[in-house]
């Protein structure tokens, strides 16, 4: 007589709807009392959205920019902000959309876990920390928004695949997968890798041999691959500007990106939860933890292999390998379950501890950087509407650069709030609807001309601080804005207008 199959464990408290609701609300806390969420690159996105909403009415923008909505795979938050801005204004629309990304990501992780196993694993809460990852705090909001969308598409892909509803899956995934692609191409690539891994597992579990498994998984992924037709033409159009660098063999850098998955403030504080997450995954070797979802586990492994061979820039997306780390860890966590009810409770407690710890850190750092940004923006009160301001940030690379500075793209506030111009915009070419009308050959009208280094340190592609002061084209600007940098002696062509501990504003004498 066959033995009765083991009954599934009863639902844990981490599977309850009230727990999900608690985490979603808690994820709104870090930015609830700030201005714009203090993310490093966000002022650039804010400027782009402001120009999109008002270029027809601002002569200073018409002289410097062109803006034309085009179908490119980098529209992320641009579209929801543009839809919301007529109701709320651009700034509040940007804040609301960006604030929604972490809760949307957390809900996506929950949905994906339910689709993969029918249950929510006790490790789920730890993914809350990964919703506030290094790429998100860096301000890669188009990418982060697209990853959140991709989680729901991946959940749909896995659920309908398990139910053998392939026609319905194709009908839904073609439009929704394309939506992810146009939000951000690299996020769509990660979705494709994870979905392919799930297909490999599905065909293997059907008893197919390895060659046929690879073949059938490759064929089955076609509904997600249709945007590659657009991507090919877009990359040809971009040419060298969108080329990928060669795969890196700098294993120290790769290891550092994994450790920096939750980078924010202090190194020890940010790596502590990563150590706990790694311990959870490593517990597979002890027998206390098992793989409950082979599809998600295979996705984590495939992303890890891709991460190891990934160049630093892909399709114009800088820090491509760094962006992969949070999703890699998240899939690994969601694939796990405890082998006993006691192990599940311990995993759930550790995961909740990670979530609350990270939320506390991000709330603290957000308030700190929000105050720092407001202090540096205060000197701009003396700048008239429509003025051109050259921003120069002081060197930041001559000390431990773990702390993620949020002041390097503040020129975006000159564009958005002062309806003026600053050297902050990214030169994305055909990857952005926003372009400079007559870009300077010297590059002193766009990123990264606002960044600088000293002679013996810092990224070599950054200009030297003193060289910038000597060479930036005074005739194109009315003001010089030094952020976290003093004015060296001997520059008599600048007249001090306003100053505080964080910034100095000078009028350029004519």
Q: Which structural domain, as residue segments, surrounds residue 247?
A: 13-366
Residue 2 lies in a domain: no
Query: How does pLDDT run across 12-39, given as a tens digit for each residue?
Result: 999 999 999 999 999 999 999 999 999 9
On whether both 342 and 390 belong to a single domain, the answer is: no
Same domain for 269 and 401: no
Q: In what order do the strands lie in the sheet with 421-422?
A: 421-422, 388-393, 479-483, 503-508, 494-499
User: Is 414 among the domain residues?
Assistant: yes
- Domain end call among 366, 382, 411: 366
The secondary structure of residue 488, as a DSSP letter, is P
CA distance 92 to 115: 34
Residue found by looking up tokens 């760094």 in the block = 322
Considering 317, 346, 366, which residue would you say is the last residue of a domain?
366
One domain for residues 214 and 246: yes
φ/ψ of 189, rounded to 5, equals -60, -40
pLDDT of residue 288: 93
d(CA 92, CA 36) in angstroms, rounded, equals 8
Task: State how far the Cα of 20 lies from the Cα of 205, in Å rounded to an integer.
Answer: 31
Q: What is the pLDDT of residues 214-224, one digit of tens each?
A: 999 999 999 99
302 lies in the same domain as 342: yes
406, two tokens: 């949020």
Q: Is the per-residue pLDDT at 383 higher than 90? A: yes
In a domain, 83, yes or no: yes
H/E/C letters for each residue in 232-275?
HHHHHHHHHHHCCCCCCCCHHHHHHHHHHHHCCCCHHHHHHHHH
Residue ending a domain, choose from 315, 345, 366: 366
Domain annotation covers residue 17: yes
Mean pLDDT of 425-436: 83
CA-to-CA distance for 214 and 228, rounded, in angstroms?
20
Q: What is the mean pLDDT of residues 42-61?
A: 95
Banded model confidence at residue 399, pLDDT cuts 50, 70, 90: low
Query: What's the confidence (pLDDT) of residue 2?
Result: 44
Number of Cβ atoms within 10 Å of the Cβ of 71: 9
Number of domains in the chain: 2
How far CA 8 is from CA of 3, 117, 119, 283, 337, in Å, comes to: 15, 12, 10, 21, 12
pLDDT tens-digit map of 267-312:
999 999 999 999 999 999 998 999 999 999 999 999 999 999 887 7
Give the DSSP H/E element, type plus range, for residue 63. helix 59-64
Burial class (CB in 10 A: 0-12, 13-18, 19+), 6: exposed
Confidence of residue 431 (pLDDT cuts 50, 70, 90): confident
Among 96-110, 419-433, 469-483, which is the least confidently predicted range?
419-433
CA distances from 31 to 138, 264, 319 (A): 15, 15, 25
Cβ-in-10-Å burial (0-12, 13-18, 19+) of 62 comes to middle
Say which residue the tokens 């592609």 belong to.
461
pTM: 0.94
Q: What band does 3 get if pLDDT is binned at 50, 70 and 90?
A: very low
Query: Helices 294-309 and 185-205: crossing angle, nearest 10°?
Result: 130
CB burial of residue 329 (10 Å; 0-12, 13-18, 19+): buried
In a domain, 6, yes or no: no
What is the spatial distance between Cα 262 and Cα 434, in angstroms, rounded to a whole number? 31
Cross-strand bridge partners of residue 435: 66
Does 444 have pLDDT greater than 80? yes
Residues 316 and 421 in one domain: no
- Helix, strand, coil abundance in the chain, percent, nearest 5: 60, 10, 30
Residue 8 is predicted with a pLDDT of 75
- 218 in a domain, yes or no? yes
What pLDDT does residue 11 have? 87
Band of pLDDT at residue 247, cut at 50, 70 and 90: low
Question: Over 60: is that where the pLDDT of 388 sits?
Answer: yes
Based on the fold, state whether residues 74 and 164 are members of the same structural domain: yes
Using CA atoms, how far apart are residues 156 and 162, in angstroms rounded to an integer? 10
As a whole number, mean pLDDT of residues 35-56 equals: 96
175-199 pLDDT, tens digit each:
999 999 999 999 999 999 999 999 9
Q: Are residues 61 and 136 in the same domain?
A: yes
Is position 308 within any domain?
yes
Nearest residue to 62 (alpha-carbon basis) of 421, 422, 450: 421
Q: What angle do CA 29, 137, 34 make, to 5 degrees?
A: 40
Burial label for 507, CB within 10 Å (0-12, 13-18, 19+), is middle
**Whether residues 190 and 57 fall in one domain:** yes
Of the candidates 92, 192, 97, which has an alpha carbon nearest to the alpha carbon of residue 136?
Answer: 97
Domain membership of residue 175 (yes or no) is: yes
pLDDT per residue over 455-481, tens digit each?
777 666 677 888 889 999 999 999 999
Contact 360, 28 (CB under 8 A): no
pLDDT of residue 248: 58
Q: How far apart are CA 111 and CA 155, in angstroms?
A: 6
Same domain? 280 vs 352? yes
Same domain, yes or no: 385 and 495: yes
Q: What is the mean pLDDT of the chain?
A: 91
What sign does the dihedral 228-232-238-243 (CA atoms) show? positive
Q: What local confidence, expressed as pLDDT, does residue 401 receive?
A: 77
Q: What is d(CA 199, CA 467) in angstroms, rounded to the nearest whole number? A: 54
Same domain for 141 and 37: yes
- Binned at pLDDT 50, 70 and 90, residue 315 comes out as low
Whether residues 190 and 255 share a domain: the answer is yes
Distance of alpha carbon 353 from alpha carbon 335, whole angstroms:
19
């Amino acid at each position: 007589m066959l033995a009765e199959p083991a009954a599934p464990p009863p639902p844990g408290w981490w599977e309850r709807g009230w727990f999900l609701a608690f985490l979603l609300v808690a994820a709104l806390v870090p930015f609830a009392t700030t201005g714009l969420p203090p993310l490093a690159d966000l002022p650039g996105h804010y400027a782009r959205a402001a120009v999109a909403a008002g270029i027809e009415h601002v002569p200073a923008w018409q002289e410097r920019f062109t803006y034309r909505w085009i179908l490119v795979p980098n529209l992320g938050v641009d579209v929801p902000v543009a839809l919301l801005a007529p109701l709320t204004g651009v700034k509040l629309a940007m804040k609301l959309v960006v604030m929604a990304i972490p809760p949307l990501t957390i809900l996506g992780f929950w949905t994906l876990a339910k689709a993969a196993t029918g249950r929510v694993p006790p490790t789920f809460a730890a993914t809350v920390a990964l919703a506030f990852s290094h790429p998100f705090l860096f301000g890669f909001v188009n990418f982060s928004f697209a990853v959140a969308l991709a989680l729901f598409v991946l959940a749909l892909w896995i659920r309908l695949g398990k139910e053998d509803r392939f026609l319905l899956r194709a009908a839904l995934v073609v439009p929704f997968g394309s939506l992810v692609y146009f939000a951000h191409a690299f996020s769509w690539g990660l979705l494709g890798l994870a979905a392919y891994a799930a297909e490999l597992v599905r065909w293997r579990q059907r008893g197919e041999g390895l060659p046929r498994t690879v073949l059938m998984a490759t064929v089955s992924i076609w509904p997600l691959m249709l945007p590659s037709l657009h991507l090919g033409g877009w990359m040809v159009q971009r040419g060298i500007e969108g080329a990928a660098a060669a795969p890196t063999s700098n294993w120290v850098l790769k290891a550092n990106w994994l450790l920096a998955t939750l980078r924010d403030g202090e190194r020890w504080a940010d790596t502590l939860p990563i150590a706990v997450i790694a311990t959870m995954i490593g517990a597979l070797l002890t027998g206390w933890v098992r793989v409950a979802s082979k599809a998600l586990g295979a996705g984590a492994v495939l992303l890890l292999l891709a991460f190891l061979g990934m160049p630093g820039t892909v399709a114009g997306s800088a820090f491509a390998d760094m962006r992969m780390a949070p999703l890699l860890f998240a899939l690994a966590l969601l694939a796990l379950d405890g082998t006993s009810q006691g192990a599940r409770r311990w995993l759930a407690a550790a995961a909740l501890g990670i979530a609350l710890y990270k939320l506390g850190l991000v709330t603290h750092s957000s308030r700190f950087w929000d105050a720092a940004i407001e202090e540096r923006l205060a000197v701009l009160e003396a700048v008239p509407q429509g003025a051109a301001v050259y921003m120069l940030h002081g060197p930041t690379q001559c000390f431990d650069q773990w702390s993620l500075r949020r002041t390097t793209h503040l020129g975006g506030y000159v564009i958005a709030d002062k309806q003026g111009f600053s050297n902050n915009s990214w030169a994305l070419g055909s990857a952005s609807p926003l372009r400079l009308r007559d870009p300077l050959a010297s590059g002193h009208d766009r990123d990264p001309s606002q960044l600088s280094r000293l002679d013996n340190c810092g990224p070599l592609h950054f200009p030297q601080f003193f060289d910038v002061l000597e060479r930036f084209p005074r005739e194109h600007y009315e003001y010089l804005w030094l952020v976290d940098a003093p004015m060296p002696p001997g520059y008599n062509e600048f007249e001090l207008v306003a100053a505080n501990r964080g910034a100095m504003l000078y009028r350029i004498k004519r």
